[in-house]
Chains A and B, each alone.
Chain A
Amino acid sequence: MSDNKQVVADIDRSLYDFKDVETEAEFYRMEEGLTEETVLKVSEEKNDPEWMRDFRLKCLKLYEEIKMPNWGPSIEGLDMDRISSYVRHKSDMKGKWEDVPEDIKNTFEKLGIPQAERESLAGVGAQYDSELVYHNVKDEVAAQGVIYTDLESALHGEYADMIKEHFMKLVPPTDHKFAALHGAVWSGGSFVYVPKGVKVDIPLQSYFRLNAAGAGQFEHTLIIVDEGADLHFIEGCSAPKYNVANLHAGCVELFVGKGARLRYSTIENWSKNMYNLNTKRAVVEEGGIMEWVSGSFGSHTSYLYPMTILKGNNSKMEFTGITFAGKGQNLDTGAKVVHIGEGTSSSISTKSISKDGGIGTYRSSVTIQKTAKKAKASVSCDSLMLDSISRADTIPAMDIRTNDADVGHEAKIGRISDDAIFYLMSRGISEEDARAMIVSGFANPVSKELPLEYAVEMNNLIKLEMSGH
């Protein structure tokens, strides 16, 4: 018991929950609500090219037309009239941490981002509310021709045509209501281009911090990994807790070229007043590999199903995810995959934990089109219920349109075995510690896919949730 207290004491919740007061003198905050005027204001702030301004207006119209989803967790508590779509610090984005405004720099220092950059990353982008405040890529990586920049700069620079060609083509604004919303008010995010054959040995990371209360964050991440190239991209997110609803409706579009490989890792720890309605999608060309590693710990309500389109022959996808739904949380997560090319293969493996009244739902779809001869798909989802006031649902779907496919699916739902707890307790471990150990073991297939420091962070988050803090 005393050991457990020690462990909990070691993890400081204030690591994520601290908040900085945003004053009018330093921050520009757009009025709440969503109208044509606010969309045009965002566009003006961003100095959009004409096509983007028109695109935003088209998206706004779609947002107004598209109905709310009739499935998934309730999002009635989200009132767009109380959400500010755009909040930014009045200073510009910097290329050196020293130049970042002191209060914002402190935030990222507390989150350990500059230290991580020094020790283990090839480049970092840091977004604070609606804008990137810092972006940098190591010289040796830049020398390989890797582009890692904020999306707004890319929109005006030599990659402008590439952005126009790819932006919201994979996730069209017609996809769902919040994709349309994203298209209307998107701001911030990163653009990554890895040229043909370039292998980036150490990961790039973007960190998103939403500090403002009653605000939305709508960053757009666009990554193109060209033929034969290799990249690991890490995304982190957190926010302090407020009593009003915050909204995250980001969009991630990933293009994996022929024979290329992209690993996209996320540790999501938004505060528990966040509506996380995020859309992530990848298209993979011949022989390409897409790997997702996803940890969902935060948010009040989540809709998150990274989707992979296996377009090229022999392309592959692996999804490894964990979701921990605690008190007051309704986390609806999973993955979607569409097999189009011949010989494509996908593997989805998820773990879900529900505790203290939390609702964890695993939702997925595996679609095998007629063209996807010799496709292989396997799905494995395990749910762990830690008490009887929580809820764990498993809602998978398979749509198979060729006989020449091999599809396997396994799902299990259950609780921690009394025998396992008894065994550990007979070895002198407290019941609480035994339960935490078993849950960590349950999560192990996910944590082993993460770089060490992120695996440690994830295990700390699990311990934190298990201790009920």
Chain B
Amino acid sequence: MSRDLNMKVNVLPVYTYNFLKVNDSTIDAEDINIDSLVGPEVKELPDGVSLRSGISFDEAGEIFRANKEKILFTTGVPGDPNGDTSFRDEEQAVRTGMGIDVDKLFIEAGAKADIYTVDEGKKVEKPVILRFDMENGKGMLASQVIHARKDSEVTVIMDYSSQDKEAAGFLGVSTRILAEEGARVNLVKTQLLGNQYIHFDDIGGACFENGAIRLITLELGALKAWNGCYINLVGKQSDFTSDTGYYCAGEDNLDINFVADHRGKKTNALMQFKGVLMGNAQKTLRFTIDFKNGSSGSVGDEQEDTLLLSEDVVNRTMPIILCQEEDVDGRHGATIGQLGEDVLFYMQTRGIDEEEAKRIMIKARLDSVARLIPDEELKQRVQYFIQNIA
């Protein structure tokens, strides 16, 4: 099934200079090929987690709509102030990083969602594991809602991989998360798809008081990948922490849009990105800390460390901080460049040549995220994958 629709995704929360071509990204209709409208079945459902499968995408958003007054927030009218784009996605049940065009794709295609609900007060020990074994030439849309009731905790692992390293195909995933009061959702996404795959991964979440979302993402395969994440920190002392590692080589193109929307008091967000660009790879990273009025006592930090290993790479970074609150602490830091001469020199004094030094540094960057994976088997598989690409 093919769709005749280009999607505008990863729209910046505020527009900037058009010549930079970073205000948004486009997924061409020809990149979207869908064979399956449901995601893989979970092999083992841990105690304390219930599952409702085959729910329409729209209906699956009901839990967010029921809390619309808490979750949805539009900061302005079109174009004011400062090119605010928040009005664009207000029809979404919960804002996501990639935006409303992803919702439209799922709804119009008739894709089904799985709703995982975690019992109140239940700390689920075993992770929910979803394995996406993507065959060559296949296309899939998959959607999940993770609803952690009060004071519960759950870890969900999504493992996207292809047996064939050269595999082509399409995988679009939408994950929407609600962490109620005192609840914690740990979400791990590892992408080891074939190097001709087209992939997008869209996340939207909301945290109520003392709620937390912990995200670990590794984007290591695929030819073109889009990643979006928008977390609404609506409750007091809610928390969002994310670690992303990526590797782009050859003609790879990776496009990211992360937003931490601070609305509750004393909310906390930390977004860290570590990655490597090689060959003719292109990467665009947009990440925003948005301190809304009322988010006093909040802290936001966004950090990027990018290693550039070819003279033909293109690296675009948009580290945005929006602030309407006096009592906040927001910061951003970026280090972008090749391997430092001092590091190389040190390595050489230890008998390590330049190529080997590069391999070590690639591995070190990606391993620092991979070792956060809570599932031992997956961690080893990811580390093996890293070993091979490095």
Is A406's beta carbon under 8 Å from chain B? yes
Which of chain B's residues 298-324 have a Cβ closer than 8 Å to chain A?
308-324
Is B135's beta carbon under 8 Å from chain A? no
By a CB distance below 8 angstroms, the chain A residues around B328 are 385, 413-415
Are B14 and A411 within 8 A (Cβ)? Answer: no
Are B17 and A365 within 8 A (Cβ)? Answer: yes
Is A402's beta carbon under 8 Å from chain B? yes
Please encode chain A, from 68 to 79, with 1 for each CB lying within 8 Å of some chain B CB and 0 for all others.
Answer: 011111101000
By a CB distance below 8 angstroms, the chain B residues around A413 are 291, 321, 323, 328-331
Which of chain A's residues 214-239 have a Cβ closer than 8 Å to chain B?
none
Which of chain A's residues 44-80 have a Cβ closer than 8 Å to chain B?
69-74, 76
Please judge, given known A-B contacts A72-B82, A388-B293, A388-B325, whether A397 and B15 are in contact too, CB under 8 Å.
Answer: no
By a CB distance below 8 angstroms, the chain B residues around A395 are 14, 16, 82, 318, 320
Bound state CA distance, A348 and B284, in angstroms? 22
Please judge, given known A-B contacts A70-B83, A408-B334, whether A392 and B323 are in contact too, CB under 8 Å.
Answer: yes
Q: Which residue, B314, B316, B334, B336, has most C-beta atoms of chain A within 10 A? A: B336
Which listed residue (B296, B314, B330) contacts A412, Cβ 8 A? B330
Are B321 and A73 within 8 A (Cβ)? Answer: no
Are B16 and A409 within 8 A (Cβ)? Answer: no
Please judge, given known A-B contacts A388-B296, A394-B332, A406-B337, whether A415 and B79 are in contact too, CB under 8 Å.
Answer: no
Are B22 and A397 within 8 A (Cβ)? Answer: yes
Bound state CA distance, A397 and B315, in angstroms? 11
Q: Whole-angstrom distance from the CB of A93 to the nearest CB of chain B?
A: 37
By a CB distance below 8 angstroms, the chain B residues around A467 are none
Is A455's beta carbon under 8 Å from chain B? no
Bound state CA distance, A72 and B324, in angstroms? 16
Q: Whole-angstrom distance from the CB of A67 to the nearest CB of chain B?
A: 10
Q: Whole-angstrom distance from the CB of B247 to the nearest CB of chain A?
A: 15
Bound state CA distance, A112 and B326, in angstroms? 37
Are B334 and A393 within 8 A (Cβ)? Answer: no
By a CB distance below 8 angstroms, the chain A residues around B351 are none
Are B81 and A403 within 8 A (Cβ)? Answer: no
By a CB distance below 8 angstroms, the chain A residues around B349 are none
Is B327's beta carbon under 8 Å from chain A? yes
Are A403 and B338 within 8 A (Cβ)? Answer: yes
Q: Whole-angstrom distance from the CB of B11 to the nearest CB of chain A?
A: 12
By a CB distance below 8 angstroms, the chain B residues around A393 are 14, 82, 320-323
Bound state CA distance, A414 and B300, in angstroms? 11
Which listed residue (A70, A363, A388, A400) contacts B326, Cβ 8 A? A388
Question: Closest residue of chain A to B329, judged by CB?
Answer: A414
Which listed residue (B277, B311, B322, B325) contacts A370, Cβ 8 A? B311
Are A411 and B83 within 8 A (Cβ)? Answer: no
Question: Closest residue of chain A to B285, judged by CB?
Answer: A398
Bound state CA distance, A401 and B326, in angstroms? 37
Are A415 and B327 within 8 A (Cβ)? Answer: yes
Is B241's beta carbon under 8 Å from chain A? no
Is A386's beta carbon under 8 Å from chain B? yes
Is A396's beta carbon under 8 Å from chain B? yes
Bound state CA distance, A309 and B45, in angstroms? 59
Q: Which residue, A69, A390, A398, has most C-beta atoms of chain B within 10 A? A: A398
Q: Whole-angstrom distance from the CB of A43 to the nearest CB of chain B?
A: 30
Are B323 and A409 within 8 A (Cβ)? Answer: no
Are B319 and A396 within 8 A (Cβ)? Answer: yes
Are A404 and B311 within 8 A (Cβ)? Answer: yes
Question: Closest residue of chain B to A373, judged by CB?
Answer: B311
Are A73 and B82 within 8 A (Cβ)? Answer: yes
Bound state CA distance, A235 and B18, in angstroms? 29
By a CB distance below 8 angstroms, the chain A residues around B376 are none
* 5 tightest A-B CB contacts, nearest first: A403-B308, A71-B15, A71-B83, A413-B330, A409-B334
Given A70-B79, A395-B82, A408-B334, 12 extra CB contacts under 8 A: A70-B83, A365-B17, A385-B323, A385-B326, A390-B326, A393-B321, A396-B320, A397-B22, A399-B20, A405-B308, A411-B321, A413-B291
**Partner-B contacts on A (CB < 8 A):** 69-74, 76, 330, 332, 336, 359, 361, 363, 365, 370, 383, 385-388, 390-415
Q: What are 28 pairs between A and B in contact, CB < 8 Å?
A: A70-B15, A71-B82, A74-B79, A336-B17, A361-B82, A370-B311, A385-B323, A387-B326, A394-B319, A394-B323, A396-B320, A397-B318, A398-B336, A399-B315, A399-B316, A402-B311, A403-B313, A405-B336, A407-B337, A408-B336, A409-B334, A411-B319, A412-B330, A413-B323, A413-B330, A413-B331, A415-B326, A415-B327
